[in-house]
Amino acid sequence: MKNISKYLGSLAVLLLCLACGDNMVEKGPIKRSGQADVISLDDDWRFIRYGLQADGTRVEEPAGMFEPATDDSDWETLDVPHDFAIKGPFRMDLAGNTGRLPFQGIGWYRKTFTVDEADQGKRFYVDFDGVMANAQVWLNGEYVGTWPYGYNSFRLDLTPFIQVGKENLLAVRTDTEKWDSRWYPGAGIYRHVWLVKTGQVHVRHWGTKMETTNLTEKTADLHFTVEVENHLNEETQAVVKTSVYELDSLDCLGKRVLRFDDQTLPLKAMSAGKVDLQKQMDDCKRWDIESPNRYMACVTIQVDGQETDRYYTPFGVRETSVSRDGFFLNGRRVEIKGVCNHHDLGALGAAFNRSALERQFRIMREMGCNSIRTSHNPPAPELLDLADKTGMLIMDEAFDAWAHGKREWDYNKLYEEWHEKDLEALVRRDWNHPSVVFWSIGNEVLEQQNVEMTRHLVEIVKELDKTRPVTNGYNDPNGGRASGASMALDVMGVNYFFYEQAKWDQDERYKNMPTIGTETSSCLSTRGVYFQGDTIRKDFQITSYDVDAPGWGCNPDTQFATNYRYPHLLGEYVWTGFDYLGEPTPFNSDNTNLLNFRTDPSKRAELEKQLAELARTQPPSRSSYFGIVDLAGFPKDRYYLYQSHWRPDYPMAHILPHWNWVGREGQIIPVHVYTSGTEAELFVNGKSYGRKAKEEGKDFRLVWDSVVYQPGTVKVIAYKDGEEWAKDEIQTTGEAQKIQLSVDHASIIGSEDELAFVTATVVDASGRKVPTACLPLKVEVTGCGELVATDNGDPTSFTPFQSAERESFNGLALAIVRGKKGTTGKMQVKVSGAGLESASIEIEVK
């Protein structure tokens, strides 16, 4: 059904197009940039796992799995995006840094598809948005090609092997036994797959580039290049027609705003050429954070009056620049209030899902975050589409390693043969996104002092795109500066080590260089967990007072003070926005942690001892504590600290900890308040604990250290400029009595793989969240929906994400649901728990 609707979708697109580049008006959303004649190959794959199995045993991989004759009838049937490791199980014998999940193994995927007789004479390509890792591809038993780096998108040419009018068999082998990582990478075809059809003369893959320059209030110069390939064995002439349309947030074209002059491009047999188009655009609406206006350049290629290709290039009109004094968007200084995020989507693993990412963006945006660093690799293409649509700025990062790996099977094994291809693929794929404002060539790579290599990689980028600054994330900024490697960059990226900024500001060579916190803070906490006195870590959880960080990190407040002290810094990317699978520092024995103390032997020795101890004791943690938001997407307290600082005009106050301290009556419980106000007064059961004020640039939270616990109510009234500004109140609750459900979307589109995120809150008789409730819950989905995963944000839980049984963790649990394939109607999600009044919620599937 899904397949049929996709075919119908592209048919509808064709029918509704009245001549592109001429007076084309396409109704309905455009699903994808690039070639217009594209079909999703996501559905109905056959899958089998060889090599290392989930339980640690091995199943030898037979030969010839790509042969059409191989019987795959008993393989699993599934749709991609698919991550074959997220099912687990979590295993204590597997490394914490990769989430204690069995990601290593060999995946075989096979899919059949038919190509119409009418397509005789066309060219056919398969586009993989990302395959983890070492993808090898066959069509009808013939080897088509490979792309080893799991994070890049790639295209392979199927034309020589395709059977028109017949069934074709696409076979893909993935190999994560020869891949390792400092975090959970996922495994398999974890992003979308597309079949692309074109005529013999067509736009090159990622072959259009739009640059917008000389912006005035209303106008901009558009410079658009189109690279065209001729696959005919004869000379030909391609007519390139290009129009620009408005593009709305639903990806529908609006009115045509500009038409470039048609170009006739002579092309020799089996060759390529390029046209350069320039025109001033009048009345243009700029792309900006609050007004992410987009346009679409539509190109058609015609040969002898016949259309041979149509190609879509979404873009935005905007201008960026960097200087020592900051990052500028459309001439305005914008402080980067950013987060680093890994690619996994929590309980969904690495398998890409648009609604999960949209939820992440909504949560980040609400916090005041305006930028994401795609640490430490190219993101799913949809992440950039979403960033374009919502006005999020992106630092697009290529690598975590160059020629020297941090782990044995790291990018080092690919660097020599692949780094140029990988970097080119990243830049070409992403260069039209207005949201992409920085390129990053690496993160804490071992060769960060190497002048030659840095220059070489920067040159690869600049050769393709001169409009964006290039950076690199340093954890040895002194080394990078001393060797001169940083001179090759436009922006100096510093991870954590800002304590020498005053010295760097005096350094003749570097004092005028734009500098950004490519990674900051690394504060650690578990949502809803608080310990008293000096206890910061206990039972593999970390207090949520937001005071803990590894040796190289600091609490958010310290970084805010640094940014205040050095206002010329471009801003920061906090490590991290969301918790992620793997790297459960400080319960992570991975020796690559030592790389953070390259130049400090005593700190290194101390950490070495801790890591040895962790390796011996093997804590059960399997996901990170760094997130401002937990793995299930529930904000931790820190979320409100960032919100208070990043959204100074948004009235808010947030009290921590909770106020359910049975047995601690009469004892001191420190109370912290995060507020965008400048002062606040705290009341416990009506008694004032006094009014406190923040000293600008020094205090970012208000602390009442001597509050004596008595059950009841804690209330804060925040003030700004002497006026009442915001309030917050928490209360001691009664026992857990019931479950309350809420959902982020009351209706979802089943055929689009939309997900709904249902939050279960354990509440007392008066409906107040019980912040200490860790109780077994059960999720049942009936009607036309199904359960995809559950989570609660506990980094030590070994319950599989697919389980319908999940404990609430400090009052909250999450159920992720979707519509059953091929159905529309309603689904009911019911959550129950022993001794609790259960709750149900209805979701429409369209």
Nearer to ligand GAL, 326 or 550 (CB): 550
Nearest approach in angstroms of CB 542 to ligand GAL is: 13
- What single-letter amino acid sits at 622? R
Strand duo 537-538 + 515-521: pairing: unpaired
Nearest approach in angstroms of CB 606 to ligand GAL is: 16
3 state DSSP class of 123: strand
Here the tokens at position 74 are 């008993």
CB 301 within 8 A of CB 308: yes
Strand duo 393-397 + 371-373: pairing: parallel
Nearest approach in angstroms of CB 603 to ligand GAL is: 13
Nearer to ligand GAL, 243 or 475 (CB): 475
- Packed helices 412-430 and 451-464: angle between N→C axes, nearest 10 degrees: 30
CB atoms closer than 10 angstroms to residue 223:
16
Residue 144 backbone phi and psi in degrees, to 5 = -100, -45
Nearer to ligand GAL, 341 or 732 (CB): 341
| Cα–Cα distance for residue pair 795/802, rounded to 1 Å | 16
Closest residue to ligand GAL, judged by C-beta, is 522
- Prior bond of 586 cis (ω within 30°): yes
- Prior bond of 89 cis (ω within 30°): yes
Nearest approach in angstroms of CB 553 to ligand GAL is: 6
Residues that bind ligand GAL (CB under 6 A): 182, 443-444, 475, 495, 519, 522, 550, 553, 575, 583, 585, 596
- Packed helices 556-565 and 638-646: angle between N→C axes, nearest 10 degrees: 20
HSE at residue 479, side-chain half, CA atoms within 13 A, is 18
Nearest approach in angstroms of CB 522 to ligand GAL is: 4
Q: Is 674 exposed, middle or buried (0-12, 13-18, 19+ CB in 10 A)?
A: buried
- What single-letter amino acid sits at 519? E
| Cα–Cα distance for residue pair 468/411, rounded to 1 Å | 25
DSSP letter at 697 equals T
Catalytic residues: 444, 519
| CA distances (Å), origin 243, targets 23, 30, 290 | 8, 15, 26
Nearest approach in angstroms of CB 310 to ligand GAL is: 41
Nearer to ligand GAL, 397 or 794 (CB): 397
Nearer to ligand GAL, 197 or 342 (CB): 342
Nearest approach in angstroms of CB 595 to ligand GAL is: 7
CB 357 within 8 A of CB 383: yes
Nearest approach in angstroms of CB 596 to ligand GAL is: 5
H/E run at residue 255: strand 253-259
Burial 299-318 (b: 16+ CB within 10 A, else e): bbbbbeeebbbbbbbbbbbb
| Cα–Cα distance for residue pair 437/460, rounded to 1 Å | 17
3 state DSSP class of 464: helix
Nearest approach in angstroms of CB 511 to ligand GAL is: 25
Nearer to ligand GAL, 341 or 353 (CB): 341
